[in-house]
Amino acid sequence: MDGHSVKLLSNIGQLNQLDQIEQLGIDGIGLLRTELLFMGLKQAPTEEQQYQMYKQTVEAVTPKVVTIRTLDVGADKQLDYIHLDKQENPALGERGVRYSLHNPEQFMVQLRAILRASTLGCIRVMFPMINQVEELIDILDLLAQSKKQLKQQQLDYGKIELGIVVETPAAIINLPSMLPYLDFISIGSNDLSQYTLAVDRTNPVLSQQFSAFSPAIIQSIATVINLAKQQQISVSLCGELASDPRIAPILIGLGLDELSINIGTFLPVKAAICSGQYNHFTQQAAACLKSTKISQLAQYL
Ligand code: PEP
Ligand code: MG
């Protein structure tokens, strides 16, 4: 792409996908959905079990980066060994870091396993469903406690980059207060659309009418990029938008530093980006930002 470089990574949810990172020339893992790794388990994975999973992942892709998202359970993502109380609105309920912060011991098992694996390669960790800086401060406290526990056990840990998944409108509004604590951010456009448009992402009746490729979401993505760029924080996008070869070039034109793409569409997305001109992408992005109607955006599809 005429001199402009971006990183194209992938979303992973199963260890048997790891071979494809090398085979397809993928720049690394931009989203490891850890709850998918734990699916089918009858009991919470121990620190050692988790360490082995992260070790296998890092060793398979080193020296490329592995971005581990901490457990994102709740709403549309259920695990056999986690019994959440019945909630009237699960998507607005206990999920993502809300669950992790309510269950700090279980959360620290995951943090310790990730920290230990960080001695083996390049690991970033990111936290899902964050709304505000207090949650981040609480997480950082648990991270510090996890490091202390490892030290007491004389177990090593490496340096780890910290990020959040930006997937609620509140996270965007509160981003300036959170950026000072972060090394990177990744936009979760699936949930960001669900919460911005107030549309259940699992409801097939509404999914066509309220596409994530809509003016409110494009504006939100641009706002996030601008806020992060002011603080020199790198911005990725890991939702489905990045996996659409028609939309991914426009996302690059908006100024994203990297995309995390589903393995299944990695090659067509890469081809769409590599065969295009960055100038053209920025022009398309500018036109999209001026679009006030979904129908105007639809011409790119
Ligand atoms: C997202 O919300 O865009 C995202 C990448 O995470 P998930 O689809 O796993 O919620
Ligand atoms: Mg999400």
What does the pLDDT read at residue 84? 86
Atom of ligand 1 minimally distant from the CA of 260: 5
The DSSP symbol for 74 reads: B
Distance 171 CA to ligand 1 centre (A): 14
pLDDT for 182-231, tens place per residue? 999 999 999 999 999 999 988 888 876 778 999 999 999 999 999 999 99
What does the pLDDT read at residue 85? 86
Distance 187 CA to ligand 2 centre (A): 9
Distance 129 CA to ligand 2 centre (A): 7
Distance 157 CA to ligand 1 centre (A): 28
The model's pTM is: 0.97
Please give the mean pLDDT across all residues of the chain. Answer: 96
Report whether CATH 3.20.20.60 matches the domain 7-298.
yes
Instruction: Encode 233-246: b = buried (16+ Cβ within 10 Å), e = exposed.
Output: bbbbbbbbbbbbbe
Percent of the chain with pLDDT over 70: 99
Distance 127 CA to ligand 2 centre (A): 10
Atom of ligand 1 minimally distant from the CA of 31: 5
Going by pLDDT thresholds of 50, 70 and 90, the confidence category of residue 151 is: very high
Output the CA–CA distances (angstroms, integers) from residue 16 to 21, 56, 117, in the order listed: 11, 10, 19
pLDDT beyond 90 at 1? no
Atom of ligand 1 minimally distant from the CA of 186: 5
What does the pLDDT read at residue 2? 74
Choose one of 165, 193, 194, 195 to mutate for the ligand 1 pocket test, by most ligand atoms within 8 angstroms of C-beta. 165
- Going from N- to C-terminal start, the domains of the chain cover 7-298
CB-defined site of ligand 1, < 6 Å: 31, 33, 72, 167, 188-191, 238-239
- Residue 186 sits at φ, ψ, to 5 deg, of -135, 130
Atom of ligand 1 minimally distant from the CA of 238: 5
- Do 15 and 53 form a contact (C-beta atoms < 8 A)? yes
Going by pLDDT thresholds of 50, 70 and 90, the confidence category of residue 143 is: very high
Closest C-alpha to ligand 1, atom 9: 33
Mean pLDDT of 89-114: 96
| 13: number of Cβ within 10 Å | 15
pLDDT for 239-286, tens place per residue? 999 999 999 999 999 999 999 999 999 999 999 999 999 999 999 999
